[in-house]
Structure 1
Amino acid sequence: MFTTYVTVTVIGAVFNGAAAVTYLIGHEYPKTQADMKGIDRKWVPVLGMLLAAGTVGLLAGLAVPVLGNLAATGLVLYFIGAIIAHLRVGSRNIVGGIVFLSTAAAILVLGLVNNGPW
């Protein structure tokens, strides 16, 4: 079970790390997504930093389990918010958000099963 936890955590860290880089380098995709959702573009780097913090927290959680649980919880909340933001403006393009949410939720569940809450 620990091997599954580590594998899913690394996959989640790669997913979120890649997304964070996309947001932080000023790529056009996050900007157009922000425009579509009615979010000011100044929030794009902030969202990227949240993703980056989640990525670092997931990896740190391999050594300090409570950090991984907190990071996974934060990412679950982040992606619930992202899906709600899409639905609020009538966008049904939520498959990516669901994949990211599912990955974060799996990491959280596996972390709690393997390590407990603390």
Structure 2
Amino acid sequence: MGYYLLKVGVTAVLVVLISEIAKRSSLMGAILASIPLTSVLAMIWLYIDTGSVRQVSALASSVFWLVIPSLSLFIALPLLLQRGINFYLSLVIAISLTALTYGLMVVILRKFGLSL
């Protein structure tokens, strides 16, 4: 149980730290947020939990292919906000668009013989 609390604590502290830095400097916040911190933490936790470089490699490969559709969020969200759409509605729309592009990417990858 203590190990899970450690994982949650480290992850939460990093997310809060990045959001606090972003309040002071959007550039520094963006730099830190653009680092695939969640992916890196997930790979570290996965390796610590399993000791399997094969599982870490599979996770890293899957993340690579899913980064491409995730970019739709970062295109859609600012466009929606610039058009004056409410923040929360813009976020829901952008996340929904991202989910659709994830699904599309999985279908496309399967057609080329890649499964995630």
Per the TM superposition, whether the score is higher than 0.5 is no
Q: Taking structure 2 as the reference length, what is the TM-score of the superposition?
A: 0.30
Highest Rg: 1 or 2? 2
Q: Taking structure 1 as the reference length, what is the TM-score of the superposition?
A: 0.30
The structure that is helix-richer by fraction is: 2
Q: Which has the higher contact order (CA 8 A, sep 6+)?
A: 1
